[in-house]
Amino acid sequence: MSTTDYIVDILLIVVIFRQLRPSEVSVRTAILPIAIMVWAGLHYLHGFKVGGNDVLLMVLLTASGIALGTLSGVTTQVWDTTSGQVLARVGAAAMVFWVLGMGFRFAFAVYANSAGGNAAIGRFSAHHSITSGQAWTTALVLMAFGEVLARVGIMQFRRVRLQTPDVALA
């Protein structure tokens, strides 16, 4: 792992801590996590042949990311102010769900870059028909995408819902 890889992984973990204190939810607040995600996609996603259980690995990790991002988004406290601002503050549950997903990816990458971890992942991959290291990289990046997009999407949905006046039914 390069220094840049460590920085990106750490940024994705700590981005949630920006909302320990109440902070505004706006379109602008979605920019940093999505920008990091776009950079990661351009940097890590490369074409490769899919075989064995590669697609299953990608689906499972992506679904895990979506689930953790959704749980983080729905457990974040969101409210509107009298001035029309929408504020959010993360609690323990939202932080745990976010850090669980992003931290898992970071720990996996560190482990994979150790001699013992690389060998263990190689054995696991051979035993479970995962055909390449790029399959793991893609699956882990898709997990992060799922987590980021689910959380950002839920936060933006909640913001719009709070800012939209109730429509009276006639």
Give the CB-side neighbour count of residue 122, counting CA atoms within 13 A.
7
What would the mean pLDDT of 161-168 be, rounded to a whole number?
A: 75
**Structural domain count, the chain:** 1
| Residue 81 located in a structural domain | yes
- CA-based nearest residue to 22, from 73, 83, 77: 77
Residues 150 and 65 sit within 8 Å (Cβ to Cβ): yes
Q: pLDDT tier at 90 (50, 70, 90 boundaries)?
A: very high
Is the Cα torsion angle 20, 40, 153, 97 positive or negative in sign? negative
Task: Determine whether 80 is exposed, middle or buried from the number of CB atoms within 10 Å of its CB (0-12, 13-18, 19+).
Answer: middle
Percent share of the chain, pLDDT over 70: 96
Per-residue pLDDT tens over the stretch 133-164: 899 989 999 999 999 999 999 999 999 999 88
| Residue 62 located in a structural domain | yes
Residues 17 and 132 sit within 8 Å (Cβ to Cβ): no
Note the pLDDT of residue 157: 96
| Residue 170 located in a structural domain | no
| Residue 102 located in a structural domain | yes
| Residue 40 located in a structural domain | yes
Question: Range of 148's domain?
Answer: 3-163
pTM: 0.87
Note the pLDDT of residue 14: 81
| Residue 168 located in a structural domain | no
**Who's near 146: CB < 8 A, 6+ residues apart?**
61, 62, 63, 64, 65, 66, 69
Q: Which of 11-15, 80-84, 97-101 has the highest mean pLDDT?
A: 97-101
| Residue 101 located in a structural domain | yes
Per-residue pLDDT tens over the stretch 2-11: 777 778 778 8
Per-residue pLDDT tens over the stretch 46-68: 887 889 999 999 999 999 999 99
Residue with tokens 């895990």: 64
- In this model, does residue 1 exceed pLDDT 60? yes
Q: pLDDT tier at 170 (50, 70, 90 boundaries)?
A: very low
| Residue 113 located in a structural domain | yes
On average, the pLDDT of the chain sits at 89
Note the pLDDT of residue 167: 52
**Token pair recorded at residue 111:** 């482990």
